[in-house]
Amino acid sequence: MSSVTIFDIKRFAVHDGPGIRTTVFLKGCPMDCWWCHNPESRKSAPEEVIYKRKLGEKEVDAKVTYGKTMQIHELMSEILKDRLFYEESDGGVTFSGGEPLHQPEALLELLKQCKKAGLHTCVDTCGYAQWSNFEHIIPYTDLFLYDLKMIDIENHTKFTGVKNEMIMENLQKLLKQKANVELRIPVIPGVNNSKEEINRYKDFLQNTVQNVPKIHLLPYHKIAGNKYEKLHMEYRMNTIEKNNSSNIESFRKELESAGFVVGIGG
Amino acid sequence: MTERIEKLRTQSLNAVNRISAERALLITEFYRSHESQKASIPVQRALSFQYIMENKSICINDGELIVGERGPAPKATPTYPEINLHSTKDLDILNSRKKVSFKVDSETRKAYEEIIIPFWEGKTNRERVFKNMDQAWLDSYAAGIFTEFQEQRAPGHTVLGKKIYRQGMLDIIDEIKEVIAKLDFFNDSEALNKREELLAMEITAKAIIQFAERYAEALETMADDEKDEIRKKELVEMAQVCRRVPAEKALNFHEALQYYWFVHLGVITEMNPWDSFNPGRLDQHLLPFYKKGLADGSLTEDWAKELLHSFWVKFNNHPSPPKVGVTAEESNTYTDFCLINMGGLTEDGKDAVNEVTYLMLDVIEEMRLLQPSSMVQISKKNPDKFVERTVKIVKTGFGQPSIFNTDAIIQELMRQGKAIEDTRNGGASGCVESGAFGTEAYILTGYFNLVKVLEVTLNNGVDLKTGKLIGVETGGSTGFETFENLLHAFKIQLNHFIDIKIKGSNVIESLFGAHMPVPFLSLLIDDCIKNGKDYNAGGARYNTNYIQGVGLGSITDMLTSIKYHIYDKRTFSWAELNHAIEANFEGFDQMRAQLVYDTPKYGNDDDYADEQASWIFNAFYDAVNGRPSPRGANYRINMLPTTCHIYFGKVVCATADGRLDSEPLSEGISPFQGMDKLGPTAVMLSATKFDHLKTGGTLLNQKFSPDFFNSSDSINKVVKLIRSYFRLDGHHIQFNVVSADTLRDAQKHPEKYQDLIVRVAGYSDYFNDLGADLQNEIIRRTAHEAF
């Protein structure tokens, strides 16, 4: 496997793990979250979109292709460009997506090469992947940023398109193997911040998971629906956004009272 | 902040900028006198200085601890008719224009009409300068190829070193007498000139002592009348301070500050030297006084702070003297670029951050004044705590302090042949200019419009705006068969205009040396006394002349567009591009969108574009670096615009990077506004592909949205970002921390944002005082939002 399909490279990423990082967004995702900030990440193949770009007051038609397939070595030279900044800040590279494990072989190769180059590596994952794929990358991954989007299985299926058993199992296995994990809960108003759901989180983390790591609550940002518009996709959050507000602080207090270490933000 | 400081600060903020005719009248009186005609030029200048210091009014503001004003009141700004003479029309415009105005009362106007103008017309240095410039210079100047700093102001641009904290003026007078006694009239053909210069210096040293004594007397009188016992005691103490300094060397913290302030007033009253005269490494100079005061109980931290507060207000009371030949639109700035340095290294190469450094950072944060400006020097040897403290002030969003790389400055200065101790005693001044404080005369000679030179190159030597031939006929754009042909022609034009610029600057320098000596400033800068030579004539230990390149980001993007679309991809032909440029892209939206969006751009760590930046940088360096001047200086380059990228943009038509006619150019070494799309690390890597150590300063501005700084983790990442840039030998970086929305709102409702200070380019200014085009340009600079 010598190529990989990505849809973005973000340099000076400061919310995706320690220090100054470059985050590589791999294209393709098995999930279909209503609130997804990167709808262009869903499909595995590059896609072409027509949009208008601004020239002062004027608008000019243009085409943009979301995603491109690159050789691993090409991507590596992009990643290495900010090496000095990683060194200075104890930062490194983060693979995100989409779901990076959706391209398991490319991800493994990238991680191996990053470790060979002496970089700190993070994998930002939704957890929805074959365990064997996790198993392969553990030795080359310094930190997993592991999303736990919902506990209630029905809601999970409704809002993300998949069941969450595999996600919860993989988390437990990772922790058992002593992988370095940071748990991330995106707090989506009206979706996963009800009292019942918070209790389910507490229950799951207290009774099922051993060695619960630090939990990061990620605030939900309304994103402009215009990305969806560009892609001719439906933005299903509109009605939910209108009727709910986020109360991330009370979420934090609930989890802290249950004895967990909680931070807000990435 | 104590109540009295609050009051002084408010007084300073509310004081109306006005023209004071006092200095102009005094110097006119002096030069009219019979006495003035008998002396040599330096002695004449010294006597005129003495006359002003003896007769100018004394101003002591309520509650202040450091005394002395340049004019009769805060922000009452003197003029310098011997350098540049304001016409009554100038005065009317200054009085009435909306931005950066100076009120002119009827008495002042009358004094100008009846006394000042009739005497000085035809005798000013500005007229002398223009009379001596040749046609090529005048044409290039009119076309906006370059500006000339010394056309309106005297060559200043230096910063004080340690001298005044070690010697009183009486010690300095002894030093002068010793040098006079040793003059060799048998073998030294310069002996007489040296004697005159040294005698002039002695006169000015005595004049500043007399000036301080006048303050002492006034303070004693005030003390006698003062009812409040606490203030009475303060006034008595202040009078004692003024009796001692500057005659004797300072013995305590208060005296050190007051000594400096008298010297400061002397320098900016003697002449109107170009920006930046300031105490430089103030935290280093004050440390021994601070320590001694705390140890013997004569000083507390709070009292030291209050003295610093009072000192800070003094700078803000002194706007930059207004120009002549002004237009209502040309707003300029009130800022006079005093840039106080903190941190860095000691003379013996150790971490210089100390207690006074942190005290001063507190003062800066609390005072939030336009002047003095402040900067931190960061060496790899300085602690992160210091950088963090700095970033925490930066995030409050008033553009101070700016951030400099000490290790780069030292290497820049050493490359120019300075002793390592002198470089460690140096720093940056003005906007970003490196200098050896106390030992160097480093004169900025003017901005140089790199973009205009390319425009002239593409048009066979013709100025596209006027149709006039001002360059060399190297053939037009359509004749360049290869990109290399174009670069070759550009180099010929560049050398042509640099020659014109340097020739002009050399003449101007000689005129100042011969006609406009500054014996008072010469007292203060080593080795003017030892050499018996004036600061303006090469008396300083080190002499440097700078030409400031402007528009690096713009010209890089233009050349990259040309290379990419015309020679490599052949997207369109020269004829098509020229046609679009001629039409200012009217009807060429698609082409313009391609130029703007589908072209590699400087600032994105893309070698295809950055190669042009390095090439231009090196071509400019080769054309300038090392060339000699009459006073024994060498020309060097630096890359900073102040606000000149706005003016230089106005003289350039539409350009190949998609920029429209008359729009601003890029500033400093920053990418063209909005073209950096990959964040600050990519900008920094692009901007360090050329060698900052070959300059005397580069300027990089970055804008962050305020949200970015809302966690200590983010602050720490900015600290590391700065450290990384400095590991790459970056010279300077500055952050504007204010959201584009805030700025847009401020444009609509200026009344709500009267205190909004933003970083312009190497200095900060009130947003309301900036012209609309500069405001827009600042809004357009990319904000690195919360990533």
What integer is the mean pLDDT of B442-459?
A: 97
pLDDT classification of B735: cutoffs 50, 70, 90: confident
Q: What is the pLDDT of residue B745?
A: 84
Q: Indicate whether B510 pLDDT > 60.
A: yes
Q: Extract the tokens encoding B690.
A: 């050329």
Residues B493 and B486: their CA atoms lie apart, in Å, by 11
CB neighbourhood size of B388 (10 A) = 14
Give the pLDDT confidence of A101-125 residue by residue, as tens digits: 999 999 999 999 999 999 999 999 9
Would you call A85 and B713 a contact, using CB atoms and an 8 Å cutoff? no
Mean per-residue pLDDT for B459-469? Answer: 97
Poorest-confidence range of A197-201, B190-194, B332-336, B721-725? B332-336
pLDDT at position A148, please? 96
Beta-carbon contacts of B592 under 8 Å, excluding residues fewer than 6 positions away, are: A55, B580, B585, B658
Query: How high is the pLDDT of residue B11?
Result: 95
pLDDT band of B755, cuts 50, 70, 90: low
Q: Of B593, B605, B679, which has the smallest distance from its Cβ to A53's Cβ?
A: B593
Chain B interface includes A68 (CB < 8 A) = no
CA distance B682 to chain A (A): 8
Residue B78 has pLDDT above 90, yes or no: yes
Check CB contact under 8 Å for A88 and B720.
yes
**Mean predicted confidence (pLDDT) in B537-560:** 98
Residue B785 has pLDDT above 50, yes or no: no
CB A188 within 8 A of CB A182: no
Distance CA B439, CA B425 (A): 9
Task: Measure A135 CA to nearest chain B CA, in Å.
Answer: 31
Q: For chain B, what's the residue count?
A: 787
Q: What is the CA radius of gyration of chain A?
A: 19
B280/B156: higher pLDDT: B280
For B376, the enclosing helix (H) or strand (E) is: strand B373-378
**Closest CB to A82 among B590, B681, B786:** B681
Among partner residues B678, B714, B727, which is closest to A14 by beta-carbon distance?
B714
Under the banding of pLDDT at 50, 70 and 90, the label for residue A225 is: low
User: What is the 3-class SS of B621-667, one letter each residue?
Assistant: HHHHCCCECCCCCEEEEEECCCCHHHHHHHCCCCCCCCCCCCCCCCC
**What pLDDT is recorded for position A75?**
98
Q: Is the pLDDT of residue A209 over 60?
A: yes
- Is the pLDDT confidence value at B574 over 70? yes
Contact B730, B700 (CB under 8 A): yes
What's the mean pLDDT when you consider all of chain B?
94
For residue A247, pLDDT beyond 90: no
* φ, ψ dihedrals at B316, nearest 5°: -70, -20
Q: Which of B226-230, B618-622, B777-781 has the lowest mean pLDDT?
A: B777-781
Residue B49 CB neighbour total at 10 angstroms? 25
A10-65 pLDDT, tens per residue?
A: 999 988 999 999 999 999 999 999 988 888 899 999 998 888 777 877 888 888 89
Do residue A12 and residue B680 have CB atoms under 8 angstroms apart? yes
Confidence (pLDDT) at A1: 56
Other CB atoms within 10 A of residue B114 CB = 10
Burial of B581 from C-beta contacts in 10 A (0-12 / 13-18 / 19+): buried
DSSP-derived letter for residue B402 is E
- Give the best residue of A60, A94, A96 to mutate against chain B (max B CB count within 10 A): A60
Residue B355's contacts (CB-CB under 8 Å, 6 or more residues apart) are B287, B290, B291
pLDDT tens, residue by residue, B237-283: 999 999 999 999 999 999 999 999 999 999 999 999 887 799 999 99
pLDDT class for B438, splitting at 50, 70, 90?
very high
Q: b/e map of A78-116 (b: 16 or more CB within 10 Å)? A: bbbbbbbbbbbbebbbbbbbbbbbbbbebbbbbbbbbee
Whether residue B32 has pLDDT greater than 60: yes
Tell me which chain A residue has its CA closest to the CA of residue B658. A55
Residue of A10, A14, A265 with shortest CB distance to B717 = A14
**Model's pTM, two decimal places?**
0.94
Long-range contacts of B168-171 (CB under 8 A, 24+ apart): B168/B245, B168/B246, B168/B247, B168/B248, B168/B249, B169/B205, B169/B206, B169/B208, B169/B209, B169/B246, B169/B247, B169/B523, B170/B209, B170/B247, B170/B248, B171/B249
Reading the block at residue B538, the tokens are: 């090469």
Quickly list H helices, B317-461.
355-367, 384-394, 406-415, 420-424, 450-458
Please answer yes or no on whether B787 and A84 come within 8 Å at the CB atom: no
ipTM for the whole predicted complex goes beyond 0.90: yes
Residues from chain B contacting residue A219 (CB–CB below 8 Å): none
Among B588, B657, B685, B724, most A C-beta atoms within 10 A, so best to mutate, is B724
Question: Which amino acid is it at B678?
Answer: L
Q: Are B655 and B435 in contact (CB under 8 A)?
A: no
Confidence bin at B786 (pLDDT 50/70/90): very low
Q: B780 to chain A: nearest residue by CA?
A: A56
What is the model's pLDDT at position B276? Answer: 74
Which carries the bigger pLDDT value, residue B742 or residue B193?
B193
Question: B713 and A82: CB-CB below 8 Å?
Answer: no
Helix (H, G, I), strand (E, B) or coil at B296: helix
Residue B329's pLDDT band, with cuts at 50, 70 and 90, is low
pLDDT of residue B787: 32
CA distance B593 to chain A (A): 7
The Cα-based distances of B289 to B168, B255, B361, B427, B764 in angstroms read 15, 9, 18, 22, 30
Q: Are B685 and A53 inside 8 Å of each other by CB? A: no
From A12, A58, A91, residue closest to B679, measured CB to CB: A12
% pLDDT > 90, chain B: 84
DSSP string covering B217-281, please?
A: HHHHHHHHH---HHHHHHHHHHHHHHHHTTTSPP-SHHHHHHHHHHHHHHHHHH--B-S--S-SB
Joined together, the tokens standing for residue B6 give 């609050």
Is A88 at the interface with chain B, CB within 8 A? yes
**Angle, CA B559 vertex, CA B554 and CA B564 arms, to 5°:** 125
Which of B698, B402, B656 shows the shortest CA–CA distance to B552? Answer: B698
pLDDT at residue number B761: 67
SS3 at position B466: coil
**Residues of B acting as catalytic residues:** 431, 433
At B691-710, the pLDDT tens digits run 999 999 999 988 887 777 77
Which chain A residue shows the shortest CA-CA distance from B596? A55
Contact A89 B724 (CB under 8 A): yes
**B711 vs A contacts (CB less than 8 Å):** 265
Q: In this structure, are residues A10 and A23 in contact, taking their beta carbons and an 8 Å threshold?
A: yes
Largest CA distance in chain B: 85
Of B679, B685, B724, the CB nearest to A88: B724
Give the residue numbers in B contacting A (CB under 8 Å), as ranges.
589-590, 592-593, 596-597, 605, 678-682, 685, 711, 713-714, 716-717, 720-721, 723-724, 727-728, 784, 786-787
How far A201 CA sits from the closest chain B CA (Å)?
26
B753 or B548: whose pLDDT is higher? B548
Spatial separation of the C-alpha atoms in residues B615 and B150, rounded to whole Å: 30
Asked if the peptide bond before residue B372 counts as cis, ω within 30 degrees of 0, the response is yes
Of A223-227, B221-225, B342-346, B591-595, the range with the lowest mean pLDDT is A223-227
**pLDDT of the residue at B687:** 98
Q: Which residues of B touch A265 (CB under 8 A)?
A: 711
Q: How many Å is the maximal CA-CA distance in chain A?
A: 59
- What single DSSP character describes residue B334? S
Model pLDDT for residues B268-324, shown as the tens digit of each residue? 999 998 877 999 999 999 999 999 999 999 999 999 999 999 999 999 999 999 988
User: B736: pLDDT confidence band, cut at 50, 70 and 90?
Assistant: confident
Which has more pLDDT, A22 or A227? A22
Burial of B310 from C-beta contacts in 10 A (0-12 / 13-18 / 19+)? buried
User: B735 versus B42: which is more confidently predicted?
Assistant: B42
A-B Cβ pairs (cutoff 8 Å, strict): 64
DSSP code string of B170-222:
HHHHHHHHHHHHT--TTT-TTHHHHHHHHHHHHHHHHHHHHHHHHHHHHHHHH
pLDDT digit string, tens, across residues B6-20: 999 999 999 999 999
Residues B562 and B608 sit within 8 Å (Cβ to Cβ): no
Distance CA B11, CA B34 (A): 41
Q: How confident is the model at residue B771 (pLDDT cuts 50, 70, 90)?
A: confident
Cis peptide before B228 (omega within 30 of 0): no
Give me the pLDDT at residue B325, please: 82
Interface test with B, best of A22, A53, A55, A81 (most B CBs within 10 A): A55
- On the question of pLDDT at A243 being above 70, the answer is no
Q: Please give the pLDDT value at position B782.
A: 54
